[in-house]
Every structure is written in C-alpha cells, then in structure tokens.
Amino acid sequence: MTDRVTREVALEVLHRDKGCVAVWLGESGRDCRGRLTLDHVKDQPMMGKRAPSDPAHLVSLCQWHHVETGWATSHRPELREYLKEVSA
C-alpha cells in the first residue's frame, strides 16, 4: 500500500508554503515555471525509501524547480532546514 498525500495534507502544505519554496530559499521567482507540485523530503538520505506523506516531509515546488532542473535534489539540506523551521 502506498502512502498517498491526502487532499487535506496537500492543501495544508500549499497554504503553509505560499508558492514555490525555492523562492523562499533565495531563487528568483522569475525562474518558476509550471504548476506547483509536492516534493517528499527525507530526514536522512536513504535510497529506496520515500519520506512520509505528511506536512513535516513535504514542500511545494514549481515543476521547474522540482522536476525539470534538478534543483530540489541538489538543495536537499536547505529543504530539510526549511522543514525544521516551519514544523517547529
């Protein structure tokens, strides 16, 4: 059974992040492209295991930063720190 992101959790994360988190972490909003998506962020790097589908492990990113450029993968430490701050 997969751990799906519920509608309620998705709405909570989208409301909390207010757009693409890459912008909050210093990227230009002009670079944002595509629809907002949710990205699972693990507490620790682990191969083969996805992070839980809860607000403490999800961030909203535009499709450009999440999928198309690899930005999300190369900025995992910053995304983890962001989640620690907003979950405190």
| Residues 46-77: tens digit of each pLDDT | 777 889 999 999 999 999 999 999 999 999 99
- pLDDT computed for residue 49 by the predictor: 80
Cβ atoms within 10 A of the Cβ of 19, count? Answer: 14
Determine the Cα–Cα distance for residues 5 and 81; give it in Å rounded to an integer.
21
Looking at the chain, how many residues does it have? 88
The pTM of this model reads: 0.91
What is the rounded distance in angstroms from the CA atom of residue 32 to the CA atom of residue 22? 9
pLDDT for position 2: 66
